[in-house]
Structure 1
Amino acid sequence: MKSNKLGAKFNRGDSPLKITLIYAILIIACICSLYPILNILTVSLRPSNALFSKSLSIIPPNATFDNFKQAFIQYDMLNWLLHSLIVSSVACIFSVMLSVTAGYAFSRFKFRGKQMGLSLLLVTQMFPLAMTLLPLYLMLIKFNMTNSYFALAVIYVSTSIPFNIWMMKGFYDTIPKSLEESAYVDGASIFRSFYQIILPLAKPAVALTALFSFMGAWSEYIVASVIINETGKLTLPVGLVSMQGQFNTAWGIYSAGALITAVPVMILFICLSKYLVGGLTVGSVKG
């Protein structure tokens, strides 16, 4: 109640100029974010003979979905989607499993090498993935794992879990340990208290971890273009780049493919949006 009064006093103390400036900045930021997407939508709805129209309307008067149809007819868009969905889903599942458990171990237990392990995980984030591409490729050649979706998924998991472990650890640190201690008193084991008490409270962090892991694997191009070079095994980002011709590019079909690429991520975000909230543990402990 006291915080609400302080918040109300703070809001009443804001000057109209400050509020106007904040809204102006937010509107400009929204326009900068939405304009490229709307431009791609407009190009994808234009017929090929009206691609370079000077009209500023978002939905062109002669709008057509022919570019979306041609993306599946002229190109192997359906298989690209399936391949990317398989790799991204596998990478997401294993990344979430490892990050959730490892983050809990780093948050709750004391063991030798804990601080060094956290530091090493943080150091790995300093090096870009492209820097390790050559040794990874030589390693995959040695194990005869080129053009393998499993190898690609393993690379995505290994590059995503350091950040995810740190994020999960930070969230676990905000959950009171007294919840687990109460469960231990009632006879619950460590695994039972984790899966039945802590994990449900950590749904926002788990959802965010899943979203980041899926998006990172779904939109990655550099590694996929090197590891997967068979025409029938291309993932979606590599397939979209293959649409670009040497002398000419069907930008309408390319734009339609780019919008199709964004659909699975949007669906996943909508499904996980109800979990992307914090403060689920507020008031869970009396005192």
Structure 2
Amino acid sequence: MVSEPKRITFLRHAVLLLFVAISVYPALNVLSISLRPGDQLKTTDLSIIPDNWTFDSYIALFTEQPFLRWLANSLLVSFAVTVTGVALAAMGGYALSRFRFVGRQALMLSILTTQMFPATMLLLPLYILVAKLNLMNTFLGLLVFYVSTALPFCVWQMKGFYDTISPSLEEAARVDGCSRMVAFRRVILPLAAPGLVITALFSFMTAWSEYIVAAQVLQDRDMFTLPLGVKSFQASMSTQWGLYAAAAILVSVPVVIVFIVLSKYLVSGMTVGAVKE
């Protein structure tokens, strides 16, 4: 007879495999659509790889569509948002964690309050701000949008992570002759690496997959980011499903790679920084 612990383990694994299948099936379905000839969305064939499969949709992305330009635009914007977000959050979170100043509690409460509302509520005021600054249809205007929406969470995340690092380490560095900036750069930042990785990942994802803001700021097709470019394959009367699916698969590849590379930092970065002051 199967022992009770083994039976429970088997049931647990069965449930997990069921949820894995539910999660993976949509991605496999998109892969199947991208390999079908023409723009076939529905088919009676249940196989993931169709019999008459072809890479025509992928080839057309690189030969008939400005996909590489869209990819370069997304990489540029995402990299700029990541660097800016990490730099500002690293310094802002450190200031809130280490310094006591008038209005500190109100500032932290304000940062936390902004996370209670969806980012789309800021669309109109930020749109007016970007328009007043003459940054419409520019990557800089997009950068202002993305950093503004991602920064509150990033600052709060880094503040919580710095709280877990003992101030005595900085004091020891100061005794050895380091300035506060040198101690921050050489002692605190290396210890805060998991938190910085989480901040970088969140900033990257904010820019990489965002569509609504980019659709308002960018008007020139050559300046489209990947979400805008993929959406352009969908029209009111017809949709290029093969290109749509192929582009969706390729857009997800960098995200999967980033998650795999940074996976060892994700759990520690998300849990260690979640402390209460």
What TM-score, normalized to structure 1? 0.86
Question: 1:277: how far off?
Answer: 5.2
The aligned counterpart of 1:163 is 153
Pairing 1:240-251 to 2, within 5 Å after superposition? 240-251=230-241
Would the alpha carbon gap of residues 148 and 199 (structure 1) be closer, same or farther in structure 2, given more than 3 Å must change? Answer: same
Question: 1:135: how far off?
Answer: 2.1
Q: Structure 1, residues 64-115: CA drift from partner, whole Å, max 9, x if none?
A: 2111011223322111111111111111110000111111111122111111
1:128 aligns with 2:108: no
Q: 2:163 aligns with which of 163, 170, 173?
A: 173
Q: 2-side partners of 1:91 and 1:107: how far apart?
A: 23
Q: 2-side partners of 1:278 and 1:222: how far apart?
A: 32
Q: 2-side partners of 1:149 and 1:50: how far apart?
A: 35
The aligned counterpart of 1:231 is 221
Contact 2:73/2:223 (8 A) holds in 1: yes
Would the alpha carbon gap of residues 194 and 134 (structure 1) be closer, same or farther in structure 2, given more than 3 Å must change? Answer: same
Question: 1:49: how far off?
Answer: 7.1
The aligned counterpart of 1:195 is 185
Q: 2-side partners of 1:158 and 1:143: how far apart?
A: 15
Q: 2-side partners of 1:49 and 1:144: how far apart?
A: 40
Q: 2:212 aligns with which of 222, 228, 233?
A: 222
1:70 aligns with 2:66: no
What secondary structure, in the 3-state scheme, does the structure 2 residue paired with 1:160 have? helix
Q: Alpha carbon RMSD of aligned pairs, Å?
A: 2.2
Q: 2-side partners of 1:132 and 1:140: how far apart?
A: 12
What secondary structure, in the 3-state scheme, does the structure 2 residue paired with 1:146 have? coil
Q: Structure 1, residues 113-143: CA drift from partner, whole Å, max 9, x if none?
A: 1111111111111222222212222222222
**Range moving further from structure 2, 230-239 or 148-157:** 230-239
Q: 2-side partners of 1:15 and 1:53: how far apart?
A: 43
1:259 aligns with 2:236: no
Q: 1:110 aligns with which of 95, 100, 107?
A: 100
Q: Structure 1, residues 231-275: CA drift from partner, whole Å, max 9, x if none?
A: 222111111111112222121111001111112222333333344
Question: 1:205: how far off?
Answer: 1.1
What secondary structure, in the 3-state scheme, does the structure 2 residue paired with 1:276 have? helix
Would the alpha carbon gap of residues 60 and 35 (structure 1) be closer, same or farther in structure 2, given more than 3 Å must change? Answer: same
1:28 aligns with 2:18: yes
The one-letter code matched in structure 2 to 1:249 is T
1:184 aligns with 2:154: no
1:213 aligns with 2:232: no
Contact 1:71/1:254 (8 A) holds in 2: no
Contact 1:133/1:223 (8 A) holds in 2: yes
**Range moving further from structure 2, 141-150 or 113-122:** 141-150
What secondary structure, in the 3-state scheme, does the structure 1 residue paired with 2:13 have? helix
What secondary structure, in the 3-state scheme, does the structure 2 residue paired with 1:140 have? helix
Q: 1:146 aligns with which of 130, 133, 136?
A: 136
The aligned counterpart of 2:86 is 96
What secondary structure, in the 3-state scheme, does the structure 2 residue paired with 1:278 have? helix
Q: 2-side partners of 1:202 and 1:163: how far apart?
A: 16
Structure 1 unaligned segments of length 5 or more: list them. Answer: 1-13, 283-287
Contact 2:33/2:40 (8 A) holds in 1: no
What secondary structure, in the 3-state scheme, does the structure 1 residue paired with 2:189 have? helix
Q: 2-side partners of 1:228 and 1:59: how far apart?
A: 36
Q: 1:57 aligns with which of 42, 47, 58?
A: 47
What TM-score, normalized to structure 2? 0.89
Question: 1:24: how far off?
Answer: 2.8
Deviant stretches of 4+, over 4 Å: none
